[in-house]
Amino acid sequence: MASRTEKSLSEVLDQRRATPSFDGAPIPDSDLKQILEAGLKMPSGYNLQPWRFVVVRTPEGRRRLRAASYNQAKVEEASAVIVACGDKDGWRSDMEEMIRIGREHGMTENYAEGARENIPAFLGNHPNLTAWLNRHVMLAFSGMLLMAEALGYDTAPMEGYEADKVCVVLNLPMSYEVVALLAIGHLKGPDKYDGDRFSMQRLVFDGEYGKPIKL
């Protein structure tokens, strides 16, 4: 593949907008692979990687997904839509595989034994698996979004979909929860305005609640 310059992280953060409309040009497999790999490299609790992704690329697939996404045109216009999901049951089957790979890369037997005890104790009776899945899936999702932007694509994160319909369209297993959609492509027409952000003083505290940080 011809080498090209990736945007810096600072450029991505400054320039990214939630893209209102895409031109629909196809995305090369090599770029899609790089984007997906960025997400799969992100960290997760116990390295359990409970995220799952369905990449919707065909015109027919995007059309059906649009119908499950409140008819948002950008779902159909995008080059690809990554449907980010979490698997509530994934950890049961993935734990041994995580340990097997970890052991090949330096995980101690002692750590492995602890993981076999702690993971089922933690997740087998977890009070809010949906929240646990969400925090992981959105981290991987962010990695993909940032890599897509770094490669020169435009992106649109989306929560405007009907989960039960998306499950049917994509034939998802019962244990899957749909967390968000990531549309990727190239901007068509004018970009969205920059709505800017709250000040750091409003959102970040120094040491304890109520003391705005001053940097």
Ligand X SMILES: Cc1cc2nc3c(=O)[nH]c(=O)nc-3n(C[C@H](O)[C@H](O)[C@H](O)COP(=O)(O)O)c2cc1C
- Measured at CB, which residue is nearest to ligand X? 160
Q: Given candidates 6, 18, 107, 112, which one binds ligand X under the rule CB under 6 A? A: 18
CB of 157 to ligand X, least distance (A): 4
Alpha-carbon distance values, 95 to 90, 92, 123, 138, 140 (Å): 8, 6, 11, 21, 19
Identify the CA nearest to 35 among candidates 75, 86, 82, 76: 82
Give dist(CA 169, CA 78) in Å, integer.
17
- Number of residues lying near ligand X (CB under 6 A): 10
- Binding mask of the shown chain, residues 52 to 91, with x at each position contacting ligand X by CB under 6 A: --------------------x-------------------
What is the distance, to the nearest Å, from the Cα of residue 9 to the centroid of all Cα atoms in its chain? Answer: 17
Of 157, 162, 165, 188, the one binding ligand X by CB under 6 A: 157
Alpha helices in 124-162 (DSSP H): 129-150
Q: Which two tokens stand for residue 118?
A: 């702690």
Are 169 and 83 a contacting pair, CB within 8 Å? no
Span interacting with ligand X, options 44-52, 79-87, 109-117, 156-164, rule CB under 6 A: 156-164
Cβ nearer to ligand X, comparing 119 with 155: 155
Q: Are 82 and 55 in contact (CB under 8 A)?
A: yes
Please state the closest distance from residue 64 (CB atom) to ligand X, in A. Answer: 17
Q: Binder to ligand X among 82, 140, 158, 170 (CB under 6 A)?
A: 158
Interface stretch with ligand X, choices 31-39, 44-52, 113-121, 157-165 (CB under 6 A): 157-165
**Tokens found for residue 96:** 């041994």
Q: Give the CA-trace dihedral at 132, 37, 61, 12, to 10 degrees.
A: 90
Shortest separation between residue 150's beta carbon and ligand X, angstroms: 16
159 binds ligand X (CB under 6 A): yes
With binding defined as CB under 6 A, does residue 28 bind ligand X? Answer: no
Q: Cβ 175 to ligand X, closest distance in Å?
A: 22
Residue 180 touching ligand X (CB under 6 A):
yes
Question: Which of the stretches 6-14, 49-57, 153-161, 166-174 binds ligand X when contact is defined by CB under 6 A?
Answer: 153-161
Q: Which residues contact 30 (CB under 8 A, 6 or more apart)?
A: 1
Q: Are the C-beta atoms of 199 and 170 separated by less than 8 Å?
A: no
Residues found near ligand X in the complex (CB under 6 A): 17-18, 72, 157-160, 180, 192, 195
